[in-house]
Amino acid sequence: MIRPRFARSVAAVVALVTLSSFAVACSGSSDEVVKTADGKTVLRYEGSTGQVIYPELAADLGYFNDVELNWIGDTTSGPQSIQNAATGQTEFGGAFNGAVVKLASAGSPITSVIGYYGSDKESFNGYYVLDDSPIKSAKDLIGKKVGMNTLGAHHEFVVREWLAREGLTPDEIKQVELIVVPPVNTEQALRQGQIDVATLGSVFRDSALERGGLRELFTDESLFGSFTYGTLVFRDDYIAQNKEAVADFVQGTARAIRWTQTHPREEVVAKLTSIINSRGRNEDTKLISYWKSPGVAGPGGTITDTEISTWIDWLTRNGELEEGKLKPSDIYTNEFNPYANGTYSPDSGADGQALEAAK
């Protein structure tokens, strides 16, 4: 279903503030930490259908020592994923950094611990129009519809950033209508004239371009280059009470990210396909065949100030965040990432001989 921007935007903001308030109330939760028979801490999480997230890869590679993952279902929404982590329905979640900053600014006590998705020359999201579309510039988008998978996350921020860079005023940007369209229906919605611009990435971009008739307006990679856009978060109280478990989770996930950064694409695709085929969730492996690169800028998912400050500044400029209320160090930590503190060398070989030596 295609839904108008403003109703969804208001609902998203209300939900974000309501859930973050609830998260504050739950931040001192006494929920018992579940342990396995051999003493490992169980981490509940949400996955993604037909894909392998980095913690799942880390578990398969044997990189965790003190934690065990417990999949409770799948999600297609980053904001919902971090809200679930903030309210204690899961132990960790992941989302676009702008959404993380927004949730934190609303009072939710969460901290980003590792980057997990982004863009590079091989992996990116593009914004496309039909070949014969009269849309040539940002000005041409005034009064037009842009389709994307969700609001208040990556695509909304990137589109609005591009419009601002192209010279549109805040009032003009408000006239560009952002529409929610499931990724599987986005190409069709564009070709049928339901939207004027389609947000396409991964298999949806590649298959649409193969069919032809589309023209690229811009990409997220063209705006920021190689850049990590999203991070995994934990609740602050959980980190404080389970520091060893969080540290083990981060080091294992960091090593899994680095494994994909240093191994040939064919080997990564084979491993991810094997994981999906063996976990019994009745999934298709089609998405995995389109995997091209990790899309994570920092070695092992290390986070930089810029990857957070960009969105703090953006929200401040747009009047959605009080100036000086937050700084990057309020949002993230690299404390547990071995590629940030020198325990492991980012350039120690294919899967890091130094990693195994240090284990």
Residue 62: Cβ within 10 Å count: 10
DSSP 109: -
Q: 2: Cβ–Cβ under 8 A, 6 or more apart, which residues?
A: 147, 179, 180, 181, 189, 194, 195
Q: What is the pLDDT of residues 108-166, one digit of tens each?
A: 999 999 999 999 889 999 999 999 999 999 999 999 999 998 887 789 989 999 999 99
Please check the confidence at residue 29 and state whether its pLDDT lies above 70: no
At which residue do the structure tokens 């969700």 appear? Answer: 150
Please check the confidence at residue 221 and state whether its pLDDT lies above 50: yes
pLDDT score of 293: 93
For residues 55 and 59, give the distance between their C-alpha atoms in angstroms, rounded to a whole number.
6
Please report which confidence band the pLDDT of residue 23 belongs to, taking 50, 70 and 90 as the band edges.
very low
Please check the confidence at residue 258 and state whether its pLDDT lies above 50: yes
Asked: is 123-222 a CATH 3.30.1490.100 domain? The reply is no
Mean per-residue pLDDT, 275-288: 92
Extract the tokens encoding 288. Answer: 């995995």
> Percentage of the chain with pLDDT > 70?
86
Mean per-residue pLDDT, 238-244: 97
Please report which confidence band the pLDDT of residue 195 belongs to, taking 50, 70 and 90 as the band edges.
very high
Helices H / strands E in the chain, number of each: 17, 10
Residue 279: Cβ within 10 Å count: 14
Please check the confidence at residue 11 and state whether its pLDDT lies above 80: no
Handedness of CA 264, 279, 253, 154 (dihedral sign): positive
Phi, psi (deg, nearest 5) at residue 216: -80, 130
What is the Cα Rg of the chain in Å?
20
Please check the confidence at residue 196 and state whether its pLDDT lies above 70: yes
Please report which confidence band the pLDDT of residue 87 belongs to, taking 50, 70 and 90 as the band edges.
very high
For residues 180 and 162, give the distance between their C-alpha atoms in angstroms, rounded to a whole number.
19
Mean per-residue pLDDT, 219-248: 95
pLDDT score of 344: 64
Instruction: Compute CA distances 9 → 3, 14, 266, 283, whole Å.
Output: 10, 9, 40, 32
Angle at 315 between CA 313 and CA 318, to 5 degrees: 105
Nearest to 151 by CA among 19, 5, 317: 5
Q: Which of 106-120, 163-177, 179-193, 278-292 is the least confident region?
A: 278-292
Mean per-residue pLDDT, 15-42: 61
Hey, what amino acid is at 251? Answer: Q
pLDDT score of 271: 98
Count how many residues are written for the chain: 359
pLDDT score of 290: 86
Q: Where are the domains of the chain?
A: 39-119+225-268+283-328, 123-222
pLDDT score of 16: 44
Please check the confidence at residue 345 and state whether its pLDDT lies above 70: no
For residues 75 and 82, give the distance between their C-alpha atoms in angstroms, rounded to a whole number.
11
Please check the confidence at residue 5 and state whether its pLDDT lies above 60: no
pLDDT score of 353: 39
For residues 63 and 359, give the distance between their C-alpha atoms in angstroms, rounded to a whole number.
9
Q: What is the pTM for the complete model shown?
A: 0.82
Domain with residues 39-119+225-268+283-328, CATH architecture: 3-Layer(aba) Sandwich (3.40)
pLDDT score of 13: 37
Mean per-residue pLDDT, 76-98: 93
Alpha carbon 227 to its chain's center: 12
Mean pLDDT is highest, among 12-16, 153-157, 250-254, for 250-254
Mean per-residue pLDDT, 61-90: 94
> Percentage of the chain with pLDDT > 90?
74
